Structure 1
Amino acid sequence: MEQQVEKSPSYKQPYAWAEALHTYENKLEQCEPLASSWNVQRRLQLLRGIVQHYRAYQQLDGSIHDPYSQQERYYSTPAYALAAAVLVSKGQTELLESAASALTCSIQALVEERAPDGHPDFFPIMIMGAYRILKSLLPEQALHWQQRLKEIEPEQTYVFTMSKMNDPNRMINWNAIMLSGEYMRYAEGLDGEDASWIDTYLQRYHVPRFTALGLYQDGPLHKPNCPFAYDIVTRYHLTLMMQAGYRGKAADCVDELLQRGARSSLLMLSPLGEWPTRGRSSQHQWNEATAALIFTVQAVREAQQGQIRRAGAFRHGADLAWEAIERWQTEAGDLHIVRNYYSPPQRHGYEIYTNHTCYNLWTAAALAYAIVHGEQLEPIVAYPIPASCTSYTLDTDGWFQTVFSGVPGQQLVWHTALNDPYNIPGLSRIHRADMPALIGPSSAGYRDQGFTRFAEGEIFPLIHAPAWQTTDGIWHQLADGIRTSVPFDCDAGVDPADGGGSYRIVEAKHEEQRTRLVLEWSGPLSAGVGQIQATYEQRPGIIRVSYRITNADQADIERLGAWIPLFMYDGKEAAVLEMVEDEMLENKALSRTNGTVTERLRLQYNNGLLSLRCLTPNCKVTFPPEASHVASRNGILKGVRLEGEAGHDSIAYELRLEKSRSSV
């Protein structure tokens, strides 16, 4: 992979989404500005709630302890130091001693190589952010901080270095995170060496991971696993490094890639301000916090270049990211760090490494940096993001294997990999503006949950996907995927070609309020199926899906079906599911038979209403027991399988999303 990138660097390749971006920017010229309720006071209020909550858990030595594990975890303390220091800089001076104590504790832990849970690489970016604010307020303490910070020897102090690992494939997001903080230390004159070693790491191990869209492929160089969370978190840290003044040998290409990545991020953002799901750590609040910083920096940059409407779109993207986080803030001030309401000790949807205090404060630290770099944000007038005002279909590059399509105010997201049991193939997310984010649903089930663990629910590959029954009575589905020659490893990627599967976009059409997308999956699927076409048509509030098997031994296929995931429970509130007579039917003379086309399902959740009806005559609605209680990142899903008549070569259904009548 390194040799291929050297021959054709990604930052010199064409930007594949240029047409979609151009169409959006033309539309933006016709858009009216938006009123924004987000200002620095509201941002500080959100940040203050998190910091004040965890101030109660600060120990005499300055460390922050997690109330659930009763100990200091990961990089909670330096994250607290940064967030508290930013609040001090905004007038909350009563936090000065607390912030300074946390900073002292963090520096000592880093220099003495005793960072909790073996995570020193995350310390310097937060330490240096706090140090830059507090050094002038506490000059005597600053002398001690400076002395200790000069003791750091990067190749010895940190974990993800070539000196310790001697493996280019392990120079992943951790290494980039460390580099961003180390550059700040160098910029402050606390590193006597030159910064050429940073250039080396960037050029050899990080620039090659970027795609032409500016997305960072985390994981081994030859087989990246590409979580969207670790794409944006790495770009967040490299953005901070550039903001700190990095102008080394890799600066021009890194800057170009970050510009591309910022534009791609704006195109990918959902109308609800949420970052897409793919891979580990998705649906964690810090995803949107890092997006807020990237959008903030880009908004200011565009404004400085006179791109007023583009700047306004990035400003609105930042606002939406803040709002997506604020929705999950508790009355106590802390956050539900994953988008569900289960209690922290239940750890539902948490990764094995997820920690409540650490990820609350890591989110706070990222938001704090967004405030620091948002001094010039307030005068920028907001304008709609792409998901709010235009129609588009976007296919990611590299190994991300994700497709986005939207109409104004609505976005659909597909995972396309056939051989990755953590990102199963099918329609994974449906988001509509002003609707509950989870109802669509917002994330699917799994064949293998990787790092993710759940308080309840069965592991089942439940997603909007086609199914088929063979003559022996057994049901199969696209989400079963294809076995690979190499066993699945959640810490490494899966070669998209392994197993012989592939996908392609057969058709993508866009009108102002409508899109049509035809996806085709090919490969040795179960029961002799070789090819499936799925057609998705959408307009605001309405999605129509149809499936057709185009290459199979028809003698073995008894009937077609379709799996539909229904979101049932978020850890606090249960959805209400009912079968009702379908008043939308054009042919009222059709007889009413339980479980056929003459009825539709209606699901009410959190003031939202999702209705489902089969568009294929004589379609049966079934609730297979294996999908009655399925674990998802957001809670519990229930699977509905629509079953067509024997011999039919296609099946179709319609989803409608609207406010529930009780909320109107």
Structure 2
Amino acid sequence: MNNSKLFKDTTLIPLKALSETTLDNSLHPLSGKLKAFLQSQENTTGFISTGLKKDDYLKVIEAQVRAMLKYQNKEGRLIDPVEKTEKYYSTPCFAHAVSALVASGAIEKDNPLAISGMKALDASLTDMVNATVNGNHGDFYTWPVMLAYRLFKTNASKEQVNSWDEKLKSINIEKLYAFYNQEKNLNWILVHASGEYLRAKEGFTTVDYAERMIKYQLSNFTDLGMYDEPGNPLAYDLFARHYLAGMLQLDYKGQHYSILKHNLWKGAWTSLFVQSPFGELPTGYRSSHHIWNEAEQSVLFEIYASAYAKAGLNKEAGAFKRAAMLSLSSIQNWIREDGSGYIVKNRFPIEKKHGYERYSVHTCYNMLAMSMLAQAWQFSNGAIEEYPAPADIGGAVVTAVKPFHKIFASLKGNYVEYDTSGDQKYNPTGILRVHLQDGHPQLGPSEGIAELYSGEGNVMALGPSWKDDEGNWIYLAKFKDLEPEIKIVTESDSEVTFSVSYNFEKVDNNNLKQIVETISITDKNVTITNEFKGFEGIKRLVWPMLINDGREKTAIKQTDNSVSLYLEGKGVKWSTNFSKNINLILSNEQFEHRNGISSPMFVEFKENKITYTLEAVK
């Protein structure tokens, strides 16, 4: 690591982390992998930048808010076109997104769009004062409202600013916040605490309440710097952290500054190491596959790119910048014809709500993503050049097993996410995601089949299945809480291999002793071996194939020992050299999941081991 220009006040980076000699496992559990990455980064050749710049955030934001403008009523609130009412915090996030356009000079302060943003801010503040925010979601109002206020106040009239000031002084947070003064491990509390910090920073309250709420939440951070709440959702791990990182970026130096700085720095590097080569946040429990997942990555990564640039560490800064741009690039792939986004990564009409959570709403979650991109723009240092990120280089296996039950491995653009104990509602056990360089990220697959979207009992992942004594097919995907043995076999610049072993000897009514999945990644492909121990019956492999993304059907090509899927000009091929009594079956069953409609491929065989490969094809 470059030791030059070691600033004492880099705000977000622990001083010890700026010295190579102290970058050890006591500072970060991934310190060894971090060192290896920085060494590999020095030797990378043929790296190609995304070509995206800071102003590209504004282009996405402007297209989105102009698409939403037609849904704004005369009071300034956004009325969702599907729900036919204002939903949650769409209005304050719209205000913040527009304020970034005004602050940037992309639109003039007297532009009708700018005026609509100020109306949205005024309506949001009125509802906050009256504690009449939509859906009792006041916890989510204060942060975007304060960010919008800070950007708008130099462009609004004195009378308008005075009106906003009076409202910001008059807020009763006991009535406004659904989770006022509670100690639950829930992201809502950190969201409103961050907003209260900004209210205090602007002189409208004291910082005491925010400090108390943050203190309650500190025990919910893991050794990897991740935030955990019930269900271990990966989307809300980063959701909570990006607010806190924003606080630090906006000069928080309160009583929890040191511990937050260390935890958030650890979490930033962890997020960098688990990001998909396509810029996607890993899937995991609720709210996965929403485009705001990638938007919150952009916020966090821009903050740490700027922090490292301030410290004079340009290649570290460039890695975070690269990750931010990969995240933005992912979002750009999910823009609808009117400029708004598909809020979940499928292309069904928004009226279908395919893959939505019960709380997913077109206006709200598009505007949440745009508020996040506005923050990314605010925090971005446009002078930072991209350097390779872990998503480009890989060469590592990251285990986030307790409490997130996940394994991540990648090498030179090929990537695997593995769930060691799927919750069954959202995610099965086994291989959830295989992203292949030059392939299609949703075909790999990018998600398994689970009950919330597919129906009770319908749980499948890429992985093994076997027939019990009564003739029933048993799926590894349906098991949880078996606590498998995980071995990291190889981590190098030419191969990454790990194995996951499940012991079934203590499972009732089961005639199998052990299953071992060994996963190897090279720069060419991903190779997986499934080994069945102590069982001589019929086995099969399952591959949940995405057959429809809501707009296009997947083209499928089959041979005796391979199946290739093609969508949007890109393809993924499953193949095996295994030829003994193999029976490859394309099922007619169809299951919904977040990326669209899936149909399983089954490969039946009698031997105790099968090896297969996934690779990108044209």
- With the length of structure 1 as denominator, give the TM-score of the two structures: 0.85
Matched residues, number: 587
Q: What is the CA–CA distance in structure 2 between the aligned matches of 1:262 and 1:426, rounded to whole Å?
A: 26
Amino acid at match of 2:462: H
In structure 2, the CA distance between the partners of 1:324 and 1:385, relative to structure 1 (3 Å rule), is same
- Shift of the alpha carbon at 1:578? 2.5
- 2:6 maps to 1:25: no
Residue 243 of structure 1: aligned partner: 249
What per-residue deviation string (whole Å, max 9, x for no partner) do you get for residues 18-45 of structure 1? 1111110111122356444212332211
Q: What is the CA–CA distance in structure 2 between the aligned matches of 1:349 and 1:306, rounded to whole Å?
A: 43
- 2:153 maps to 1:149: no
Residue 569 of structure 2: aligned partner: 607
- Shift of the alpha carbon at 1:13? 5.7
Are the equivalent residues in 1 in contact too, given 2:92–2:120 (CA < 8 A)? yes
Are the equivalent residues in 1 in contact too, given 2:449–2:592 (CA < 8 A)? yes
What per-residue deviation string (whole Å, max 9, x for no partner) do you get for residues 69-121 of structure 1? 22111001000000001111122021331111110000011110111111110
Residue 121 of structure 1: aligned partner: 139
In structure 2, the CA distance between the partners of 1:161 and 1:214, relative to structure 1 (3 Å rule), is same
Residue 5 of structure 2: aligned partner: none
Are the equivalent residues in 2 in contact too, given 1:445–1:459 (CA < 8 A)? no
Q: Partner of 2:344: helix, strand, or coil?
A: coil
Q: What is the CA–CA distance in structure 2 between the aligned matches of 1:459 and 1:560, rounded to whole Å?
A: 20
What per-residue deviation string (whole Å, max 9, x for no partner) do you get for residues 581-607 of structure 1? xxxxxxxxxxxxxxxxx5322222222
Are the equivalent residues in 2 in contact too, given 1:407–1:512 (CA < 8 A)? yes
What per-residue deviation string (whole Å, max 9, x for no partner) do you get for residues 615-651 of structure 1? 33324334375x7212111001111111112xx2222
What per-residue deviation string (whole Å, max 9, x for no partner) do you get for residues 295-323 of structure 1? 00100100111111010010011111011
Are the equivalent residues in 1 in contact too, given 2:488–2:499 (CA < 8 A)? yes
Q: What is the CA–CA distance in structure 2 between the aligned matches of 1:530 and 1:74, rounded to whole Å?
A: 50
- 2:544 maps to 1:565: yes
User: After the TM superposition, which segments of 4 or more aligned residues of structure 1 sit over 4 Å from their partners?
Assistant: 11-14, 418-421, 523-526
Q: What is the CA–CA distance in structure 1 between the aligned matches of 2:457 and 2:120, rounded to whole Å?
A: 41
Residue 273 of structure 1: aligned partner: 279
Q: Partner of 2:141: helix, strand, or coil?
A: helix
- 2:539 maps to 1:527: no
Residue 7 of structure 1: aligned partner: none
Amino acid at match of 2:34: L
What per-residue deviation string (whole Å, max 9, x for no partner) do you get for residues 338-388 of structure 1? 0000001101100011001100111111001111111xx221110111121
Q: Partner of 1:534: helix, strand, or coil?
A: strand
Q: What is the CA–CA distance in structure 1 between the aligned matches of 2:44 and 2:564, rounded to whole Å?
A: 35
Q: What is the CA–CA distance in structure 2 between the aligned matches of 1:154 and 1:529, rounded to whole Å?
A: 57
Residue 12 of structure 2: aligned partner: none
Residue 343 of structure 1: aligned partner: 349
Could you tell me which of 157, 160, 170 is aligned with 2:179?
160
Residue 400 of structure 2: aligned partner: 396
Are the equivalent residues in 2 in contact too, given 1:619–1:642 (CA < 8 A)? no
Residue 492 of structure 1: aligned partner: none
Q: Partner of 1:391: helix, strand, or coil?
A: strand
Q: Partner of 1:66: helix, strand, or coil?
A: coil
Q: Partner of 1:429: helix, strand, or coil?
A: strand
Amino acid at match of 2:477: A
Are the equivalent residues in 1 in contact too, given 2:415–2:521 (CA < 8 A)? no
Q: What is the CA–CA distance in structure 1 between the aligned matches of 2:92 and 2:422, rounded to whole Å?
A: 41
Q: What is the CA–CA distance in structure 1 between the aligned matches of 2:220 and 2:25, rounded to whole Å?
A: 14
- 2:329 maps to 1:323: yes
What per-residue deviation string (whole Å, max 9, x for no partner) do you get for residues 400-435 of structure 1? 110011111111110111565432111110112332
Residue 415 of structure 1: aligned partner: 419
What per-residue deviation string (whole Å, max 9, x for no partner) do you get for residues 488-542 of structure 1? xxxxxxxx5xxxx111213421232222211112354462434311111222342
Q: Partner of 2:537: helix, strand, or coil?
A: strand
Comparing 35-44 with 564-573, which one deviates more in the overlay?
Answer: 35-44
- 2:264 maps to 1:258: yes
- With the length of structure 2 as denominator, give the TM-score of the two structures: 0.91
Could you tell me which of 576, 596, 608 is aligned with 2:555?
576
Residue 609 of structure 2: aligned partner: 650
Are the equivalent residues in 2 in contact too, given 1:560–1:650 (CA < 8 A)? no
Are the equivalent residues in 1 in contact too, given 2:583–2:605 (CA < 8 A)? no
Could you tell me which of 631, 636, 642 is aligned with 2:597?
636
In structure 2, the CA distance between the partners of 1:427 and 1:123, relative to structure 1 (3 Å rule), is same
Amino acid at match of 1:156: K
What per-residue deviation string (whole Å, max 9, x for no partner) do you get for residues 529-558 of structure 1? 3431111122234222121233x5x4xx51
- 2:96 maps to 1:137: no
Q: What is the CA–CA distance in structure 1 between the aligned matches of 2:254 and 2:401, rounded to whole Å?
A: 27
- Shift of the alpha carbon at 1:459? 6.6
Amino acid at match of 2:35: H
- Shift of the alpha carbon at 1:287? 0.6
Q: What is the CA–CA distance in structure 1 between the aligned matches of 2:213 and 2:512, rounded to whole Å?
A: 46
Amino acid at match of 2:557: E
